[in-house]
Amino acid sequence: MAWKCILRTPTLLKQINLLWLIVFNSGEAHTQSNDVDCIVYNEEFMECTWIHSEGKPNYTLYHWYSSQPAKECGNYIQQNGYNVGCNFSKSEIIQFREFSVYRNGSSDSGNELPLTRNFQLQDQVKLNPPENLTLNMTDRNELIFSWGVAEKSLKCRMYEVRYRSDKDKNWQVHTINSQRKYYLASTDPKKLYTFEVRSKINEYCATTVLWSEWSSSVQWGENYTGIAQRNFHALLLFSIVTLLGLLIIVVFQLTGKRETTK
């Protein structure tokens, strides 16, 4: 009797059925293209997404950590009424434990095969691009490009800097392991330089190929200074013309009042 009562429990039945499906289809699942991808954005939230093609069924996603029961996605990402991913909050992300997903779908033809993937989430982190970019010129004609990140994010970071002048066709790219500065030893004052930087988790903390997006650009050089000077001169000229116009109006008003008084 006790065994029959246990089998009537919906949650347990669902877990057993899901486990059976995963085991039964595991051989076929790994022959499919790994089109479910999980990315942890700046260690703040995670999205597991896939591409939904026209005519394909609506998929469901189950997920679990090793030695834990599987759960269905509680926050699907949808497009045109179809599930195309699952959203996970920060509290649901556990690094340095194997994270597994099982995506399943059904269609009229019954030919859709399920898909299982395993991840190490510390290898799936994609950082935000660095901010607070600055350029400073030293007395030795050395250009210093620097950037900032939140203090809590200083560990486990590496950076890639790229720059080029308005005379260059290709970017010059340099990798920096820890410091948040790049020194350009010599510059041509007749060129306009553009700098950008991106970041990722370094090899001492994880194995990842996911770089952040490139940062916004900062520039330095004669052309940039010339543009700023021309803008300043244009603004100054506009201000002078405006003041002269106001002065002429005031003079005409005062002259009109005098004539009226006479």
Q: Give the per-residue pLDDT at 165.
A: 93
Residue by residue, pLDDT tens for the chain (262 residues) are 333 333 334 444 444 445 444 443 444 434 344 589 999 999 999 999 999 888 788 999 999 998 899 999 999 999 999 999 999 999 999 999 999 999 987 554 555 567 889 999 999 999 999 999 999 988 888 899 999 877 666 688 999 999 999 999 999 999 998 789 999 988 888 899 999 999 999 999 999 999 999 999 999 986 554 444 455 556 666 778 788 878 888 777 777 666 666 5
What CA–CA distance (Å, rounded) separates 72 from 70?
A: 7
Q: Give the per-residue pLDDT at 198.
A: 96
Q: Is 4 exposed, middle or buried (0-12, 13-18, 19+ CB in 10 A)?
A: exposed
Q: Give the per-residue pLDDT at 232.
A: 54
Q: Give the per-residue pLDDT at 121.
A: 96
Q: Give the per-residue pLDDT at 243.
A: 81
Q: Give the per-residue pLDDT at 193.
A: 94
* Pairing verdict, β 125-126 and 37-41: parallel
* Pairing verdict, β 98-105 and 115-120: antiparallel
Delimiting residues of CATH 2.60.40.10 domain(s) in the chain: 2-125, 127-226
CATH architecture of 127-226: Sandwich (2.60)
Q: Give the per-residue pLDDT at 17.
A: 44
CATH architecture of 2-125: Sandwich (2.60)
Q: Dihedral (C-alpha) 227, 233, 238, 240: value to the nearest 10 degrees?
A: 170
Instruction: Give the 3-state secondary structure of the chain.
Output: CHHHHHHCCHHHHHHHHHHHHHHHHHHHHCCCCCCCEEEEECCCEEEEECCCCCCCCCEEEEEEECCCCCEECCCEEEECCEEEEEEECHHHCCCCCEEEEEEEECCCCCCCCCEEEEEEHHHCEECCCCEEEEEEECCCCCEEEEEECCHHHCCCEEEEEEEEECCCCCCEEEEECCCCEEEECCCCCCCEEEEEEEEEECCCCCCCCCCCCCCCCEEEEHHHHHHHHHHHHHHHHHHHHHHHHHHHHHHHHHHHHHHHHC
